[in-house]
Structure 1
Amino acid sequence: MDNMVDVRNLKKYFPVKGGFIQHTLGYVQAVDDISFTIQKGKVLGLVGESGCGKSTAGRTILGLTPATEGQVLIDGVDVCTATGDAMHTLRKKMQIIFQDPYSSLDPRMTVYDLIGEGLAAHKLVSSRIELEEKVEAIMEKCGLFPEQALRFPHQFSGGQRQRISIARALAASPEFVVCDEAVSALDVSIQAQIINLLKDMQEDMGLTYLFISHDLSIVRFISDDVAVMYLGQIVEMGSKKQIFDAPAHPYTQALLSAAPAFTRKEKREKKRILLEGDLPTPYNPPAGCRFAGRCPYAGAECRESVRVEEVEKGHKVMCLKAGKLS
């Protein structure tokens, strides 16, 4: 199967300035040398604690934030170097669903204008009547009623606003969608509706998703593969089964142990792993493994170097002790 997304050694550093002339003192390494691929029609879940660089990675992949180094190939075209017509064509292929639907929707625009804007910009309709028909069709697919088209975002609930965001993102029939914490601000019952909607739209339109979330249960439900980020780097990546059933990196093990248990059996069997030490700063990260200061298995060699090990086919871990942990 062909790759829809191919991220190669992607970096995003933000300069830290100071002094009278505001010269650069250093860089915050928000995303530091990450690489992965997503096959067409598949879902990659990107997980990690707050501040690890998940959202920055998603925005950099789409070109909303310019990359410092690396390549992002969307269907073979590099987002990092594309300009003009090439970027305009790419914009139709890739879209994003933001975390907060209220702040991402222009409060002065009606639902009709919000959804129809992309169709008009990419010249996907030839008349006003066709535009109205397409807007109504995508609204109905996303669980909205055509009579709501002339309302404004503040007249909807949080779940309805997220449906508007999804309709806007999917109106131009993209191939790749970044879901940046798309359900984290919603109630649990509404989360289930939105997740089911995203799954249905994926099947109907053959979409490829990068699903960014800190909710492991949702990632487990929707994803085919999972990548775990820690302080700007991907420390473990593999299939959903490999990550959730046999995590190999100490950070992934600790992250999964923190997920809530819902049954008595899970509560009895789950062993909480408590991490000690402070989270390093991305402004001046350690030279070796960035998790070494909090890892119960770290040795002197971990603080000096790091490398990616493949514990089994398709299951990669950034850990010198991968496969040797008790």
Structure 2
Amino acid sequence: MNTVNENILEVQHLKKYFPVKGGFIQHTLGYIQAVDDISFTIRAGRVLGLVGESGCGKSTAGRTILGLTPATGGSVLFEGTDVCTASGDKLHEIRRKMQIIFQDPYSSLDPRMTVYDLIGEGLLAHRQVNGRVELEERVEEIMLKCGLFPEQALRFPHQFSGGQRQRISIARALATNPEFVVCDEAVSALDVSIQAQIINLLKDMQEDMGLTYLFISHDLSIVRFISDDVAVMYLGQIVEMGSKTQIFDTPAHPYTQALLSAAPAFTKKEKAEKKRILLEGDLPTPFNPPAGCRFAGRCPYVKAECKETVRMEELEAGHQVMCLRAKDLA
């Protein structure tokens, strides 16, 4: 088990490109740069929130980190082992320690399997139980932890509500006692009242099991509640990264500022203080992104040099911004 000060995950220059084919013989015309050279670390026991608008590459990044989608370039070091090149028994052990909770609880569960089979499948695959009696005990234990009743074990997914299905997904992910979990929009398909229950469940399980989360979401209020650190993605790249306080209280990148201004205000004071930033210009395509800053075409502070080059600036300890004018805007 990792200590809190150790990095459990180190993502280094990760890239994921999807080929675009066309023509009579279906040759490659180019590549969709879904994830383009992102780097970050997550310390054990902490939660990194990954935010950005739809299509920015958040989910692709999460799946590539887990090895569900092969990386085009870069490396993903989990406890010192590169997930991108691991194979055999080493990869099998990494699979047990790294799990994912998918966005849609309706399509991520096999409708032909009972809850007992869904949760027990991972325990059997990783040989964590000896015999049927121990399997039943482990399944019942994790069901109770996730707010499910043992008598529901022989039911099928279609017999549950959306919130209950997501609890089943969480139970399935946590059954193997993982150390790192990717929550890919884990509550976005649920009602608001159910979202609160699932978020509280994730927080409780993190404390009980010492879990580390990569929490992918477009809901900034949820990210602010559950995360310790936040990374902001735009068109396949991380444009700003820092602690929760740094990102939400003193955002430096123009895109982060615009993103936070679009979040709904819940009190009269917030509504009076909040100033909406309306972006102009067209969103670039990941098929042929601009050479310099990818936000330059929509940025109100753009300069000529921004369209030619881009680099990460360090504003303070742990607060990085991919913007040449970051120090002026902070």
- TM-score bucket (shorter structure): over 0.9
| Residue 274 of structure 1: aligned partner | 278
| Residue 46 of structure 2: aligned partner | 42
| Residue 78 of structure 1: aligned partner | 82
| Residue 290 of structure 2: aligned partner | 286
Give deviations 1:218-259, integer Å, cap 9, x for gaps: 000000000000000000000000000000000000000000
Instruction: Find the aligned partners of 1:79 and 1:321 in 2 and give their Cα distance.
Output: 35
Instruction: Find the aligned partners of 2:112 and 2:253 in 1 and give their Cα distance.
Output: 47
Instruction: Find the aligned partners of 2:155 and 2:282 in 1 and give their Cα distance.
Output: 48
| Residue 212 of structure 1: aligned partner | 216
Deviation at 1:325, TM superposition (A): 2.1
| Residue 321 of structure 2: aligned partner | 317
Instruction: Find the aligned partners of 1:268 and 1:182 in 2 and give their Cα distance.
Output: 32
Alignment of 1:119-158 (within 5 A): 119-158=123-162
| Residue 108 of structure 2: aligned partner | 104
* Match 2:72 to one of 68, 83, 103: 68
5+ residue gaps, structure 2, are none
Instruction: Find the aligned partners of 2:309 and 2:41 in 1 and give their Cα distance.
Output: 25
Deviation at 1:19, TM superposition (A): 1.0
Instruction: Find the aligned partners of 1:123 and 1:101 in 2 and give their Cα distance.
Output: 26
* Match 2:308 to one of 304, 308, 313: 304
Three-state SS of the structure 2 residue aligned to 1:265 is helix
* Match 1:95 to one of 84, 94, 99: 99
Instruction: Find the aligned partners of 2:187 and 2:154 in 1 and give their Cα distance.
Output: 25
AA aligned to 1:125 is: V
Q: Does 1:117 align with 2:121?
A: yes
Instruction: Find the aligned partners of 1:300 and 1:164 in 2 and give their Cα distance.
Output: 52
Give deviations 1:18-40, integer Å, cap 9, x for gaps: 11111111000000000000000
Give deviations 1:255-280, integer Å, cap 9, x for gaps: 00000000000000000000001100
Give me the TM-score of the superposition, normalised by structure 2. Answer: 0.98
Instruction: Find the aligned partners of 2:97 and 2:79 in 1 and give their Cα distance.
Output: 9
CA RMSD between the two structures: 0.6
Give deviations 1:174-202, integer Å, cap 9, x for gaps: 00000000000001110000000000000
Instruction: Find the aligned partners of 1:101 and 1:5 in 2 and give their Cα distance.
Output: 26
| Residue 6 of structure 1: aligned partner | 10
Which aligned runs of 4 or more in structure 1 are off by greater than 6 angstroms?
none
| Residue 54 of structure 1: aligned partner | 58
Q: Does 1:233 align with 2:237?
A: yes
* Match 1:255 to one of 253, 259, 274: 259
Give deviations 1:41-60, integer Å, cap 9, x for gaps: 00000000000000000000
Instruction: Find the aligned partners of 1:65 and 1:99 in 2 and give their Cα distance.
Output: 16
* Match 1:24 to one of 28, 50, 70: 28
Q: Does 1:179 align with 2:165?
A: no
5+ residue gaps, structure 1, are none
AA aligned to 2:96 is: K
Three-state SS of the structure 1 residue aligned to 2:279 is coil
Give me the TM-score of the superposition, normalised by structure 1. Answer: 1.00
Instruction: Find the aligned partners of 2:252 and 2:65 in 1 and give their Cα distance.
Output: 27
Instruction: Find the aligned partners of 1:282 and 1:31 in 2 and give their Cα distance.
Output: 9
Deviation at 1:84, TM superposition (A): 1.2
Three-state SS of the structure 1 residue aligned to 2:106 is helix
